[in-house]
Amino acid sequence: MRIAAGADHAGFALKQVVVARLRAAGHDVVDVGTGAAELSVDYPLYAHAVAAAVERGEVDRGLLVCGTGLGMCMAANRHHGVRAADCFTPQLADMARRHNDANVLCLAGRLLDESQAWEIVTTWLEAPFEGGRHARRVAAIDDTGAGARVARAGAPTTEASRG
């Protein structure tokens, strides 16, 4: 799998460990930076670089690491077709893939140790997207007009819409 990886200064150390393990596992990793932890950098720059690579189809998935994963996740999700998830547990990573087809994983460099992060990453890489009713919901993520249509028509109440 081809994976773009990026981090700010707070996520640099964890990114380095995860990237090395991904490469050792046979993945092709494009590291967009940052290249050091000593200099404070702005996380959105790296989030946008990774998300743009996913958006353009240059990579299969993206990995982002900052202090909490939150800022990276917010920035990455600005890109069309990017479904970034900030995951703190393997269970969240599993559901992010199975139900939301998450193609960018965000990690908290200040909150996760290397072992926890690797378990989350491997779970996320191995979990399949279930499709089915979830495919309709994933398609709606990029449909920014859906909310306005629901607001005008009123919330759906049929059993099929609750699926």
Locus of tokens 């743009």: 52
Q: Which is more confidently placed, 53 or 38?
A: 53
Residues that are catalytic: 66, 99
Count of domains for the chain: 1
Residue 157, in any domain of the structure? no
Tell me, what's the pLDDT at 161?
53
Is the sign of the CA dihedral 1, 31, 102, 106 positive or negative? Answer: positive
> Given a cut of 60, is residue 158 above it in pLDDT?
no
Q: What is the pTM of this model?
A: 0.90
Locus of tokens 């819409």: 161
Residue 82, in any domain of the structure? yes
Which tens digits make up the pLDDT trace of 96-149? 999 999 999 999 999 999 999 999 999 999 999 999 999 999 998 888 777 777
Note down the domain range covering 118: 2-130
* CATH code of the domain in which 86 resides: 3.40.1400.10
